[in-house]
Amino acid sequence: KRAIARAAAKLIEPGDSIIISGGTSTYALVEFLPPEGLDILTNSIPIVTQLIASGHHRVTVPGGTIFREQDIVLSPFEDDATNHFSAKTLFTGCFGINRFGMMEADPLIVQSQVRLLRRCEQLVVLADRSKLHQRSSIVVADLARVTVLVTDEGARDEDLEPLRSAGVRIVRAERDSPDKRIKVT
């Protein structure tokens, strides 16, 4: 997860406005963010806590109810802070990703993801190779909506080919080492 997070952070430029959804992969991303200057919306309590402790970014949290099991904030109302935030990129994990698109299994996560997807230009999915074999009945975003998949170096070409053919840019993060480069295909 750290190698994937490090590679994903290289896609962020100073001054960017980004959304970071809740999850363990995106939580790892925070460690590699530039130390200041980002405008960040997140629905994740652990990520908010980490951002407050580690940097000097402007952090926005949508109002709503805290769902402890998912560690997210989700409003029952349509007009929360999310609807007034505009982001260059949404960074998110997923339950699975394959030729059908990005999938989630938890209906609350789906509801949250759909709201966040409306507010970004680009979608960057952080998913290790195991996610290329996970399926769910709920497709949150088809592949045309996915801009970049950041995965690990163990992802097989045959698993990535349907995504690449759909126009998804693939970034393969090498084993967790700060000196390693990322591979973009």
Half-sphere exposure (Cβ direction) of 16: Cα atoms closer than 13 Å: 19
Are the C-beta atoms of residues 33 and 43 closer than 8 Å to each other?
no
Task: Return the pLDDT at 185.
Answer: 58
Please name the residue that has the structure tokens 């580690």. Answer: 54
Domain boundaries, the chain: 2-184
Structure confidence by residue, pLDDT tens digits, 149-161: 999 999 999 999 9
Within a 10 A sphere around the Cβ of 4, how many other Cβ atoms?
A: 26
Q: Give CA angle at 184 (18, 14), nearest 5°.
A: 30
E strands, the chain, where?
17-20, 36-42, 56-60, 65-67, 72-74, 87-92, 96-98, 101-104, 120-126, 138-141, 148-152, 169-173, 182-184
Residue whose C-alpha is closest to residue 132's, from 100, 173, 96, 157 = 96
Which portions of the chain are predicted below pLDDT 50?
A: 179
- Distance from the Cα of residue 1 to its chain's centroid: 12
Task: Return the pLDDT at 55.
Answer: 73
Domain spanning 2-184: which CATH class is it, in words? alpha beta
pTM above the 0.85 mark? yes
Task: Return the pLDDT at 177.
Answer: 54
